[in-house]
Amino acid sequence: MKRLATSFKLQVTSLLLFLLTTTSLLAQTVPNEMMLGDLRLTINESTRRQIQKDVDRLTQSQTYFNILVDRMNLYFPIIEREHGEAGIPDEIKFLAIQESALISDAVSSANAVGFWQFKDFTAREVGLRVDRNVDERLNIVSASRGSAKYLNSHNYFLKNWVYSVMAYNTGRGGAQKYVDQSNLNAKRMTINSKTHWYVKKFIAHIVAFTPAVGLPNSEGIWLDEITDAGGKSLEQIAREQNVDVEELKKYNKWLKRGDVPKDKAYAVLIPRQGTPPKKAIAQNNARRSKISEPQKKIYPTELKPGLTEANKSTIIPLNGIPSILARDADDVRTLSARAGISENRFRKYNDMGAADKIIPNEFYYIKKKKGKAKIGFHVAKRNENLWEISQQYGIRLAKLAQRNRMSIIDALKPGRVLWMDKTRPSDEPIAYHELSKPVITKPVAKVTASTHNVDDAVISDESFEEPLEEEISEEEVPDIIVPVVDTKEERLKKVKIHTVAAGESLWSISQLYEVELDELLRWNELPDPDAISIGQNIQVKAPIEEASEGKNIISHTVQPGETVYAISRKYGMTVDEVMDLNGLSGFDLNVGQDLKVYEE
């Protein structure tokens, strides 16, 4: 009987999880009518279809949707309480998702910070402390109280919650030009093509996320609060509350240094495991609207551990292989979860052993590396090891070692010439270059007839002895260009297309590539910063038409022995500029070929 009861309990649990997952898979349909507080909104058909596209974008990725659902059900109980006490319509809680994706330390292009995206002077106006020790914009309790004050101040003058939401984005002065006086204190209002885009996005967030309000956190976490911690450090609080100090810090980033101040009662969030009390469960308080029967979407249903962490991720093609950028708090678990692959597969793709740790601000591959590099040779720098080189060029570690007739554990001497796209012949001695000149160095033996291409430069395939560095003589051999591995910053500058990953915003992408947000909107013909979705390709470099604007373009006829690299240097251009301007897909050139170049 005991075994039967256990089996029944497991079946019930599985059924509940299935039902919860199915709920999140439903593509929500925008209704013709809905409520915002006591204001009834009627949405005309063309605008309803427009909002539906935003709803579909918000729900098209099950992974990203689940991340946001986890966050909102952690924080919504607090927002509901603070907004409810201030008389804010319950539906406005969804604005926090739109503003910050409920990332506590989110920063906008306008330097607005935190859950509710306050600038520092606005935060102080609504009573939040912002200084070197405390930033209450990152405290969900304080920030939600501040947002309630801010919204109520707008509604006092605008007398319409739709206009108050709009003013959250435009400011009260900016909202005035969209205000129809007939809608002040109105009980009904039409949402149409003249309605501000920010309001339409807000409605899309309400529709997309309302059905998921109140679902349990996938990691079984709920947030408790204490308000009597003045004078205590987070380490001391963690010991007293029997919680992990790093977990405590993750939910209390508002305390930037020192102990919790004593000037007033600050809410310290305590992450708890288990079933939360009723007050800590988000409530689905949305009124029933005329919503048509939802349609199912098919998504992968496997939930990866760690996906609920508020980590930003960056996935870009590196050496033609998708790679992910590691953040300070990342480990193999979080990176593999974000990439949607197993930890074992992630380690295999990156030639990592069980004990190897993630290095912050480095790229890691999320697909299999290749058997050879795109260049002929690499000269080992000081303190460089074989694994680092394999990661820099996207070549498998074992294959790199095999091409150089060495073991992966062999010590790598500075200056050693490594074969990258071919295997060093058995009768070819190991070669070294001196490292005093990192770009232009000297080979140590005579040049033979055969050559290899190295990043648009030509390097000779030489017959080497294995001399000591002091034996190298500049008089004996000609100069030769040796490839230098790009730094992370240089690699990013060469990326043209960025694939949007979970947790990213257009602003974070603009910061990564050091371009203006307006430029990304223009280059990608995006209507607004929210019009991106996971998996979407974003152009992060100016189109060649824009980059070449104002420059005189002339023709260059390719001469024997010339490479794209040599031509770019001759005319003060980058290799990418030459290739983009001429629509080249590879580095092969024909003698007599005419190329467009910038006039010197």
Question: Over the stretch 366-392, which tens digit does the pLDDT of each residue have?
Answer: 888 988 887 778 888 888 899 989 988
Q: Where are the alpha helices (DSSP H) in 463-538?
A: 488-494, 506-513, 517-523
- Residue 443's pLDDT is 40
- Residue 573's pLDDT is 80
Query: Where is mean pLDDT largest: 80-94, 166-180, 333-347, 458-472?
Result: 80-94
* Per-residue confidence band for 41, with pLDDT thresholds at 50, 70 and 90: very high
Cβ atoms of residues 159 and 184 within 8 Å: yes
Determine how many CB atoms are found less than 10 A away from the CB of residue 64. 22
- Residue 317's pLDDT is 63
Question: Which carries the bigger pLDDT value, residue 442 or residue 28?
Answer: 28
- Residue 455's pLDDT is 34
Which of 3-7, 348-352, 373-377, 468-472 comes out lowest in average pLDDT?
468-472
Question: Which carries the bigger pLDDT value, residue 590 or residue 77?
Answer: 77
Give Cα separations from 35 to 32, 147, 189, 199 (angstroms): 11, 20, 10, 13
For residue 55, is pLDDT > 70?
Answer: yes
Cβ atoms of residues 196 and 184 within 8 Å: no
Mean pLDDT of 143-154: 94
Which of 198-207, 267-276, 361-370 comes out lowest in average pLDDT?
361-370
Question: Over the stretch 258-286, which tens digit does the pLDDT of each residue have?
Answer: 999 998 999 999 999 888 887 787 787 75
83 contacts: CB under 8 Å, gap ≥ 6: 89, 90, 92, 93, 144, 147, 148
Query: Where is mean pLDDT largest: 134-138, 305-309, 364-368, 499-503?
Result: 134-138
What residues pair up with 222 in beta bridges, in sequence order? Answer: 272
Q: What distance lies between CA 212 and its chain's CA centroid?
A: 24
CA distance 56 to 185: 32
* Per-residue confidence band for 42, with pLDDT thresholds at 50, 70 and 90: very high
Q: What end-to-end distance do the CA atoms of the chain give, in Å?
A: 88
Kindly write down the DSSP assignment for every residue of 198-253, as one continuous string.
Answer: HHHHHHHHHHHHGGGTTPPPTT-EEEEEES--TT--HHHHHHHHT--HHHHHHT-T
CA distance 311 to 306: 9
CA dihedral of residues 252, 147, 201, 221 (deg, nearest 10): 30
- Residue 292's pLDDT is 35
- Residue 297's pLDDT is 26
Q: Output the average pLDDT for the chain.
A: 78
Q: What structural domains does the chain harbor?
A: 24-220+274-295 (1.10.530.10), 315-365 (3.10.350.10), 496-541 (3.10.350.10), 546-598 (3.10.350.10)
- Residue 88's pLDDT is 95
Mean pLDDT of 321-325: 82
* Per-residue confidence band for 560, with pLDDT thresholds at 50, 70 and 90: confident
- Residue 515's pLDDT is 81
481 contacts: CB under 8 Å, gap ≥ 6: 439, 440, 454, 457, 458, 459
Mean pLDDT of 105-131: 89
Mean pLDDT of 232-252: 94
Question: Which carries the bigger pLDDT value, residue 33 or residue 62?
Answer: 33
- Residue 303's pLDDT is 22
Question: Over the stretch 213-240, which tens digit does the pLDDT of each residue have?
Answer: 988 888 889 999 999 999 999 999 999 9
Mean pLDDT of 470-474: 35
Query: Where is mean pLDDT largest: 169-183, 252-266, 418-432, 475-489?
Result: 252-266
CA distance 578 to 575: 5
- Residue 581's pLDDT is 82
For residue 358, is pLDDT > 60?
Answer: yes
* Per-residue confidence band for 256, with pLDDT thresholds at 50, 70 and 90: very high
- Residue 281's pLDDT is 79
Question: Over the stretch 521-554, which tens digit does the pLDDT of each residue have?
Answer: 877 777 677 778 777 888 887 776 666 666 788 8
For residue 10, is pLDDT > 70?
Answer: no
* Per-residue confidence band for 294, with pLDDT thresholds at 50, 70 and 90: very low
Share of the chain above pLDDT 90, in %: 33
- What angle do the packed helices 197-209 and 62-85 form, to 10 degrees? 100
- Residue 494's pLDDT is 64
**What stretch of H or E contains 460?**
strand 457-460
For residue 138, is pLDDT > 50?
Answer: yes
Question: Over the stretch 434-443, which tens digit does the pLDDT of each residue have?
Answer: 765 444 334 4
For residue 20, is pLDDT > 80?
Answer: no
pTM attached to this predicted model: 0.49
Mean pLDDT of 147-152: 93
Question: Over the stretch 493-513, which tens digit does the pLDDT of each residue have?
Answer: 667 778 887 777 888 788 788
- Residue 480's pLDDT is 36
- Residue 484's pLDDT is 44
- Residue 478's pLDDT is 35
For residue 361, is pLDDT > 90?
Answer: no
